[in-house]
A and B are shown apart, each in its own frame.
Chain A
Amino acid sequence: DTAVSQTPKYLVTQMGNDKSIKCEQNLGHDTMYWYKQDSKKFLKIMFSYNNKELIINETVPNRFSPKSPDKAHLNLHINSLELGDSAVYFCASSQAPGREKLFFGSGTQLSVL
């Protein structure tokens, strides 16, 4: 019954590897997001999709590639992982872009060794 679910919850990997995080929402929302939270709890938006269309692409290295196969799913693929990518990544959704309240997943803690 989880509204926004993301997997895996923990991801430990070596530098240089490629990994993916998956996100699914069952709220019928049109908009989905990826946020990154660093070790100081600073939460920054990375990407946003509305009805499978990319609408926000913040200054994120192009090693990060989001993919939205349908409006209920937004996955994040990361190539050539670096130490600085270690963080907690949150998926979120909202009924419409921007000003609506967000529903967050429980996060994926990525540790790059």
Chain B
Amino acid sequence: SQQGEEDPQALSIQEGENATMNCSYKTSINNLQWYRQNSGRGLVHLILIRSNEREKHSGRLRVTLDTSKKSSSLLITASRAADTASYFCATDTGTASKLTFGTGTRLQVTL
């Protein structure tokens, strides 16, 4: 079964607006990661947040983690057309040497 579920499945915003994507997961984690996938390309790692961290920033990205609610959010501020992509969360549960990916959010940023 899928460990992570992203919400919303699709998001359309205008350039300059902020985009927020959420990820919920089912079991305890060691860390949670966010990846971006441009159309026809491989996934690119964006940010990793550990289970003992609550918030992390990287450039225009802000990630929060609430382990009590088993959820994370990715905020992209001042979005650009180049941010158009699918965004996936991935969790490491520590029980197996693998990352389990969520279902993804398709973000469309229009001019």
Contact = CB atoms under 8 A, between A and B. Distances in A.
Interface string B14-45: 00000000000000001101010100111111
Size class of the B contact interface (CB-based, 8 Å): 20 to 34
Contact of A102 (B40, B43, B94, B96): B43
B99 to A, nearest CB: 6
Size class of the A contact interface (CB-based, 8 Å): 20 to 34
B97 A101 contact: no
A66 interface: no
Contacts of A50: 97
Main secondary structure of the interface of A (DSSP, over half): strand
Contacts of B96: 56, 98
B104 A41 contact: yes
B102 to A, nearest CB: 9
Interface string A28-63: 000101010000111111001010000110000000
B103 interface: yes
A45 B98 contact: yes
Interface of A: 4, 31, 33, 35, 40-45, 48, 50, 55-56, 90, 92, 97-99, 101-107
18 contacts: A4-B42, A41-B37, A41-B86, A42-B104, A45-B98, A48-B98, A50-B97, A56-B97, A90-B43, A92-B42, A97-B98, A98-B97, A98-B99, A102-B43, A102-B45, A104-B44, A107-B40, A107-B42
